[in-house]
Amino acid sequence: MTSDIILQAIVTGLMMGLIYALIAAGLSLIFGLMDIVNFAHGEHLMLSMFSSFWLWSLFGIDPIFSIPITILLMAICGILTHYFLIRYILKAKMLIQICATFGLSIFIRSIAQLLWTPDFRNVDKPLLEGRLEIGPVFIGQPQLIASLVCLLAFFGLYLFVTKTETGLALQATAQDRHAAEVLGIPSNKMFAIGWAIGLGCVGIAGGMMANYFFIFTDVGINFALFAFVVLSFAYSAINKAHAVDYIKKPSETHHQSFEPYENPIVIPDPKPRGTVVRVKEITTYDVVVDEAKIAANHVTMDDLELIEVKDKKDINFHQVDCYFYAKVKQTQTKSTDYGASTRWREGEQFWLSDGGKYVEWEPWSEWYAGNKW
Per residue of the chain (373 residues), give pLDDT as tens.
688 888 889 999 999 989 988 998 998 899 888 888 889 999 999 999 999 999 999 999 999 999 999 999 999 999 999 999 999 998 888 889 889 999 999 999 999 999 999 899 999 888 888 888 888 888 999 999 999 999 999 999 999 999 999 999 999 888 888 778 877 889 899 999 999 999 999 999 999 999 999 999 999 887 777 777 766 766 666 555 555 554 455 444 444 454 555 566 666 667 777 777 788 888 888 888 878 888 888 888 777 777 777 666 655 554 445 556 678 888 888 888 777 888 888 888 877 666 667 788 888 888 887 544 3
Q: What is the pLDDT of residue 372?
A: 42
Q: Which residues contact 337 (CB under 8 A, 6 or more apart)?
A: 277, 278
206 and 350 belong to one structural domain: no
Do the domain assignments include residue 312?
A: yes
116 and 41 belong to one structural domain: yes
Do the domain assignments include residue 273?
A: no
Do the domain assignments include residue 57?
A: yes
Residue 319 DSSP symbol: T
113 and 157 belong to one structural domain: yes
Do the domain assignments include residue 269?
A: no
Strands 280-285 and 307-308, by their bridges, are unpaired
Final residue in a domain of this structure, among 248, 269, 294: 248
Residue 109 to residue 350: CA distance in whole angstroms: 74
Residue 184 to residue 182: CA distance in whole angstroms: 5
Final residue in a domain of this structure, among 205, 224, 248: 248
Do the domain assignments include residue 253?
A: no
Give this prediction's pTM.
0.63
24 and 131 belong to one structural domain: yes
The number of beta carbons lying within 10 Å of the beta carbon of residue 365 is 13
Where in the sequence is the domain holding 97, given as residue range(s)? Answer: 2-248
Is 77 within 8 Å of 47 (Cβ atoms)?
Answer: yes
35 and 87 belong to one structural domain: yes
Is 21 within 8 Å of 87 (Cβ atoms)?
Answer: no
SS3 content of the chain, % helix, strand, coil (to 5): 55, 15, 30
244 and 303 belong to one structural domain: no
Domain total of the chain: 2
Strand partners, 342: 333, 368
CA atoms 125, 127, 133, 138: torsion sign: negative
Do the domain assignments include residue 271?
A: no
Backbone angles phi, psi at 355, to 5 degrees: 95, -5
Do the domain assignments include residue 139?
A: yes
Do the domain assignments include residue 219?
A: yes
